[in-house]
Amino acid sequence: MNAHSKHLPSSDATDNLRIQVKELRILRKQTVIVDRISFDVKAGEVLGLIGPNGAGKSTVLAAMAGIDTPNGGSILVDNQNITMLSASERAQRLGWIEQLGTVHWPLSVERLIMLGRIPHLPPWSRPTDIDRAAVEDAIVRADCVGIRYRQVPSLSGGERARVLLARALAAEPTILFADEPVSSLDLSHQLQTMQLLHDYASKPCAVVVVMHDLSLAARYCDRLALMHEGKLIAIGNPATVLSDKNIGDVYGVSVVTGCNSVPWVVPEHLL
């Protein structure tokens, strides 16, 4: 009991951390893309990665999802180094939604979403009722019910994005990484998708989402991480991160911000 309580403060402090990024450094052909950045993602939160094009957001996301190996630093998933996880453990726990994801064969929507269960299927087994239930749940959540029997090439860009989102949800990851999931969506599906990610985080899982729409980011993300030229400029609650100074420094524009029923950020002019 005593021994336990002695360790309690330290373990308590890290217990609800889903991902810890420490001194992450990534190079591409000698160019520094991500420059020693550190941050945490807590269980139950949506962290928004924002910043101008080329800031290194997607690169960080891919490294956190275990797809690319960083050149320096470490990534801890539930206090375990990501390099210590087996490929299947990683695939079961971490979900990643590619920016402009491709589908190479004209599969039906339903079959494509079923592919999301691959990390959970033991070799030589067929999908069970559990797998089918997860797929069904993902189809409903991502609003793919009406298109489930269509072939992927017949879908619009936004419909395809929703299907790929459903594919990732079907895997039921505890940490979900989404690279610009709402860029190609219409207004209602933007809200729907962000609400979905928000609800998903409260499971409690953790969601890290790269996005460009600062208004949506301010509204649906619990915290924002602002990146610029590979460095982490600010991290914290949306109101503090989206200060006029931060946005001016990073994006080079002045913005009009406000909050009526929902927060909004609108670019005013170039600085």
Tokens 């420094």 locate to: 249
Q: Which is nearer to another protein, 205 or 232 (CB)?
A: 205
Q: Which is nearer to another protein, 95 or 238 (CB)?
A: 95
> Which of 190, 166, 172, 187 has the alpha carbon at shortest distance from 119?
172
> Which of 237, 268, 223, 232 has the alpha carbon at shortest distance from 250?
232
- Which one of residues 18, 41, 96, 238 is an interface residue with another protein (CB under 8 A)? 96
Q: Does 164 bind another protein (CB under 8 A)?
A: yes
Q: Which is nearer to another protein, 94 or 161 (CB)?
A: 94
- Which one of residues 90, 141, 160, 219 is an interface residue with another protein (CB under 8 A)? 90
Select the span of 3-11, 98-106, 141-149, 232-240 touching another protein (CB under 8 A). Answer: 98-106
For residue 102, give Cα distances in angstroms to 48, 153, 197: 23, 10, 21
Size of the site for another protein (CB under 8 A): 35
Q: Which residues contact 180 (CB under 8 A, 6 or more apart)?
A: 58, 99, 210, 211, 212
> Which of 92, 113, 118 has the alpha carbon at shortest distance from 174?
92
> Which of 106, 22, 29 has the alpha carbon at shortest distance from 64?
22
**DSSP one-letter string for 222-262:** SEEEEEETTEEEEEE-HHHHT-HHHHHHHHSEEEEEEESSS
Least spacing, CB of residue 116 vs another protein, in Å: 8
Q: Does 62 bind another protein (CB under 8 A)?
A: yes
166 and 116 in contact (C-beta within 8 Å)?
A: yes
Return d(Cα 73, Cα 128) in angstroms, integer. 39
Q: Under rule CB under 8 A, which residues in 104-133 are in contact with another protein? A: 104-108, 111-112, 115-116, 118-119, 121, 123-124
Q: Which is nearer to another protein, 19 or 250 (CB)?
A: 19
CA torsion angle 144 145 151 156 (round to 10): -40
Q: Which is nearer to another protein, 209 or 224 (CB)?
A: 209
Q: Which is nearer to another protein, 98 or 143 (CB)?
A: 98
Select the span of 19-27, 83-91, 136-144, 257-265 touching another protein (CB under 8 A). Answer: 83-91
Least spacing, CB of residue 101 vs another protein, in Å: 6
State how far Cα 33 lies from the chain centre.
19
Least spacing, CB of residue 231 vs another protein, in Å: 25
Return d(Cα 193, Cα 159) in angstroms, integer. 12
Q: Which is nearer to another protein, 1 or 87 (CB)?
A: 87
Least spacing, CB of residue 119 vs another protein, in Å: 5
- Which one of residues 101, 174, 184, 233 is an interface residue with another protein (CB under 8 A)? 101
Q: Which helix (H) or strand (E) holds 175?
A: strand 175-179
Task: Give the residues lining the site for another protein (CB under 8 A).
Answer: 62, 65-67, 87-88, 90-92, 94-96, 98, 101-108, 111-112, 115-116, 118-119, 121, 123-124, 151, 153, 164, 167, 171
